[in-house]
Amino acid sequence: MQKRPKILVVGSFVMDLIVSTEKFPNSGETVLGKSFRTAPGGKGANQAVQAARLGADVTMVGKVGNDDFGRSLINSCKESGIHTEHIAVDPEVSSAVGNIILEVGEGKSAKNRIVVVPGANMTITPEDVAFLKDTIDQYDMVILQLEIPMQINEIVAKYAFDKNVPVMLNSAPSAPLSEELLSRLTYISPNEHEAADLTGIHIRKDGKLVNQNDAEAVVDSLLQKGVKNAVITLGSAGAVVANKNEFVYQPCIDVVEVKDPTAAGDSFVGAFTTGLCAGLSLSEALTFANYTATLTVSRMGAQPSLPYLDEVLDLMKKVGQFGFDFSRLDILKQS
């Protein structure tokens, strides 16, 4: 019997400090907020939790501070069934925090603004990940992001590439990427703004209509840099996945009220990679990821909003994805 997909996530932990308000303050302006709460997050941890909640066997590698936030961040991973033995604790630097302001108003989709203080995420060293050189071939997929030192991403991507393990880089937050790193990526997943930073090409949109010529030009540029597959999220306009032989565009799954877009991209990446590792095609994995992210934006918080497999499948069936072969995901239901 085929085993559950094994996914390695090397990335960040961030404790989110979330304020909601009816109006973003202008420079020098003070506004009254509506609520405050904390929630575990960080792109790496979010993607790991999403993959685990969808049924993947997930190991997380990263670093937190020796503080209450760090302990809470590790516990959140444990509660989702993630292997946490390779999460290091920095005794001198605090855990990362994210200052999230949500603009929420009656009849309006929520918008967010985020400032991250990276803390212990940026103290990961090559020695912390050296063990992966000999163990990385145990995994079906490696997921990386850009909230940890670029050197660490470069090292881990090389380890994986040398052992023929697929690598997904969620290229966020936006940063320049070396030719060596790009050439070792099986998948890259920027949003439209990060894709523009990487390629110099802006994907024009008219409401929810996407200029396909622009999208194809962005994909071509990324492929020319050595990436094998490009996955571009377009906000409310949907997402694209493409390689030199295939171009698939899917519109946004517009069936929920958007309450909080935080972690939507992480949810998408976690679901897309899990679907691929379970044996879905690029198009099927894109559908699976779109529905997963749709559920995420209908809830508040980062990790608290990330759905479980049954919830995603129920929504897909409810909305009418009758052509989707749900038996392809049975592997994710194994304990």
Known catalytic residues are 266
Sheet strands (E) in the chain: 6-10, 14-21, 33-41, 57-65, 87-90, 97-103, 111-117, 141-144, 167-169, 187-188, 205-206, 209-210, 229-233, 239-242, 247-250
Beta carbons of 170 and 269 less than 8 angstroms apart? yes
Of the candidates 44, 49, 124, 136, which has an alpha carbon nearest to the alpha carbon of residue 88? 124
CA–CA distance from 331 to each of 9, 143, 221 (Å)? 20, 20, 35
104, 52, 109, 102: which is closest to 77 by C-alpha?
52
- Give every CB contact of residue 177 below 8 A, 6+ residues apart in sequence: 169, 171, 198
**List of long-range contacts for 220-223, beta carbons under 8 Å, 24+ apart:** 222/182, 222/188, 222/195, 222/198
Distances 246 to 208, 228, 229, 284 between C-alpha atoms, Å: 22, 11, 9, 13
Q: How many CA atoms lie within 13 A of 6 on its CB side?
A: 11
